[in-house]
Amino acid sequence: MIQNQKQTKIKDLAKNDLARWFSTNELLEYLGISQSELDEQSSLFTEGIHYKRATPNQPESQRLWRIDLIDELLCLPVAPLEKEAMIKAINNDITCNC
């Protein structure tokens, strides 16, 4: 019983960790910037902190981003309600009262 609880907790932590990493397209959509604008800021980002490779040790692997850290680093002014709407859109948590 205790072993199952530990395994469940480990799986939940792993899911939470994965939920913090987003694709480049999701990052660009969230920030409302283009790939070239992101590239211009690339010297600010550190692998392992701001992004990681989807497949470690493969330089051509896609980057996965920590949106919260990138947002904090770039300090882009976004109204709280707009930010909340963007997060809901990224998480596909939008409902329609049609």
Going residue by residue through the chain, which has 98 residues, state the pLDDT in tens, using 9 for 90 and above.
Answer: 555 554 454 445 444 554 589 999 999 998 888 999 999 988 999 999 999 999 998 989 999 999 988 888 887 565 666 667 777 777 777 666 65
Query: Is 3 within the bounds of a domain?
Result: no
Number of domains in the chain: 1
Structural domain includes residue 75? yes
Note whether residue 34 is domain-resident: yes
83 lies in some domain: yes
Neighbours of 47 (CB within 10 A): 9
Give the pLDDT confidence score for residue 17 in this predicted structure: 54
Residue 52: give the domain boundaries: 21-90
Q: For tokens 């981003």, what's the residue?
A: 65
How far apart are the C-alpha atoms of 54 and 63, rounded to whole Å? 6
Asked if the structure places residue 25 within a domain, the reply is: yes
CATH at 61: 1.10.1660.60
**For 84-88, which contacts have Cβ atoms below 8 Å and span 24 or more sequence positions?**
86/29, 86/30, 86/32, 87/30
